[in-house]
Amino acid sequence: VAEPLRKTTEIEVRYAETDQMGIVHHSVYVVWFEVARAALSRETGHSYAEIEGLGYYLVVTGARIRYLRGARYGECVAVTAWLDRVGSRGLTFAYEVRRGAETLATGTTEHVWVDKSTRQPCRLPRELCDRFRRIGGLAD
Amino acid sequence: VAEPLRKTTEIEVRYAETDQMGIVHHSVYVVWFEVARAALSRETGHSYAEIEGLGYYLVVTGARIRYLRGARYGECVAVTAWLDRVGSRGLTFAYEVRRGAETLATGTTEHVWVDKSTRQPCRLPRELCDRFRRIGGLAD
Amino acid sequence: VAEPLRKTTEIEVRYAETDQMGIVHHSVYVVWFEVARAALSRETGHSYAEIEGLGYYLVVTGARIRYLRGARYGECVAVTAWLDRVGSRGLTFAYEVRRGAETLATGTTEHVWVDKSTRQPCRLPRELCDRFRRIGGLAD
Amino acid sequence: VAEPLRKTTEIEVRYAETDQMGIVHHSVYVVWFEVARAALSRETGHSYAEIEGLGYYLVVTGARIRYLRGARYGECVAVTAWLDRVGSRGLTFAYEVRRGAETLATGTTEHVWVDKSTRQPCRLPRELCDRFRRIGGLAD
């Protein structure tokens, strides 16, 4: 079995992302996950913006985050995303946020595909689904 | 000439709104202005959500903010909004953010009405426009 | 055994909290949890701002969220928080976000107490810890 | 007279930055200005994080933004920042947000230097001030 594609995005901490503890607010990691998820999804050959244009929303149904160390302003973090599960109706992404060799946070997000016009859960067209299977390391 | 209606909204500072300076990040005041603007607009008899439902967006074309003192976590601020200008094609709102007797910030935002379907600037229907004129302190 | 105190905070959805799907962005629920957690913590007799003033940070070490239905602009949601676990070194909070009778999301957050000056995990003073035990429904 | 240094930062629009109008929420531009301001300030030889480490906050005292066209998810914007005014006690930055050849927004922010320990307005040390004068296009 092939390994899922791991895509790393470098993100510079924004001042606005810090809180009065002097570290990045914990809600921001969910936004960083989304940035990394979009970069990984682009590896299908379609950006997430294009997929929405085709009529599909990738709705978030669950999220888990484990916070190990706080990121700070002035730092650049590396957010790696990969597919943990690829189904015809949804996906699970996994993430790791690192600062150099240190892991700052890990997490997963669960998603279902929703038809933009009906707002109901749906299956992706086979061809598009296969592209996600491929970056997920699954045979066609 | 009548005075414009001044509507005050109490907002409790959220931890996530602070930054590492230990005060509320300056971008947040723009969000607070929006909350106060929505509360004032509701005085027309239509919430802003309803006005969007009728087919109009109130697009922001300009904003000015003067920051005098920083709000802090644990505080409740009072954000007062009123109409500074009411035209058939747009509005200007003015704001004051206070903590007790102290003014923390002042500002204005300029807006134009945009037709949701064409995404082009438009005029509001007379009846709706008159409602904004009334809370703006203008004769019909 | 007593039940933990359940504290509900009403939150009006902010326009800035929506995304282009037309619903509240999933990262916002973590911020709402924090608002509800602060309201519950105040039931100890000390606001969270005061507890920081005493020298303790309540650092987030984990979060889980299950999203069932999206909140929308124009709606008011009720966020209920309660203590799921009270230890001398940390707390686990649980949350439910409702719109009328519908549950929109549920979640938990895990926390450890950190000494503000040393930035190391610590125990809360007994008296303060007991106050959290009491709102957590635990005998002294 | 030399021209002020113009520093451009590329920013990819984040999904979380959009609102239900389908464009980037207007409060986000203030955050983008901050990102571009930090990149420009780094041209002094000191990152803004280092300057805070030296004991100075660059507090925002005013902001003006003019919004011409909305940025959208899937786009990359170029945010250019330059110094409009350099004083011993404060700075004014100017900004332009572009998408290709189109200008999406322009703005300015005004700042004063504040001593981190006293929280009072202050002057920057001569050497540091000169570095800002240089990137501002002013003779020493």
Chain D residues bordering chain B (beta-carbon distance below 8 Å)? 20-21, 26-28, 30-31, 34, 52, 57, 59-68, 70
Gap from A86 CA to chain C (nearest CA, Å): 19
Counting residues of chain B whose pLDDT is more than 70, the rounded percentage is 98
Please confirm, yes or no, whether D84 is among the known catalytic residues.
no
CA D54/CA D72 separation, integer angstroms: 38
Q: Are B15 and A20 in contact (CB under 8 A)?
A: yes
Q: Where does the pLDDT of residue C2 fall: very low under 50, low under 70, confident under 90, or very high at 90 and above?
A: confident
Query: Using one digit for the tens of pLDDT, what is the confidence trace for A35-93?
Result: 999 999 999 999 999 999 999 999 999 999 999 999 999 999 999 999 999 998 999 99
Q: Where are the beta strands (DSSP E) in B5-75?
A: 7-12, 56-67
Cβ of B31 within 8 Å of Cβ of C47? The answer is no
Those residues of chain B whose CB sits closer than 8 Å to some CB in chain D are: 20-21, 26-28, 30-31, 34, 52, 57, 59-68, 70
Q: Which residue did the predictor score with more confidence, D91 or B140?
A: D91
Calculate the alpha carbon distances from D25 to A25, B31, B86, C127 in Å: 20, 9, 23, 45
Q: What pLDDT does D127 receive?
A: 93
**In the 3-class helix/strand/coil scheme, how is A52-105 assigned residue by residue?**
HHCCEEEEEEEEEEEECCCCCCCCEEEEEEEEEEECCCEEEEEEEEEECCEEEE
CA distances from B95 to B87, B134, D2, D61 (A): 18, 18, 39, 16
Residue B139 has pLDDT above 80, yes or no: no
Q: Which chains touch C (3 or more CB pairs under 8 A)?
A: A, B, D
Judged by DSSP in three states, B72 sits in: coil
Interface contact flag, C34 B50, Cβ < 8 Å: no
**DSSP three-state, residue B47:** coil
Which residues from chain D sit within 8 angstroms of residue C18, using beta carbons? 19-20
Report the pLDDT value the prediction gives residue A88, as an integer from 0 to 100: 87
Write out chain A residues lying below 8 Å of D47, CB-based. Answer: 74
Contact C27 A31 (CB under 8 A): yes
Question: For residue C34, which residues of chain A lie inside 8 Å, CB to CB?
Answer: 27
| Residue range B89-109, pLDDT digits in tens | 999 999 999 999 999 999 999
A-contacting chains (≥3 CB pairs under 8 Å)? B, C, D
Quick check: B88 pLDDT over 90? no
Q: Report pLDDT digits (tens) over B29-40.
A: 999 999 999 999
3-class DSSP assignment, residue D105 = strand
Facing residue for B49 by CB, picked from C38, C50, C73: C73
Q: Residue B73: its pLDDT value, please?
A: 98
The 8-class DSSP code of residue C42 comes to G
Record: contact A62-C60, CB cut-off 8 A: no
Q: What is the pTM of this model?
A: 0.97
Contact D128, D51 (CB under 8 A): yes
pLDDT in tens, C41-69: 999 999 999 999 999 999 999 999 999 99
Tell me how far the alpha carbon of residue D113 is from its chain's centroid: 14
**Residue A112 pLDDT more than 60?**
yes
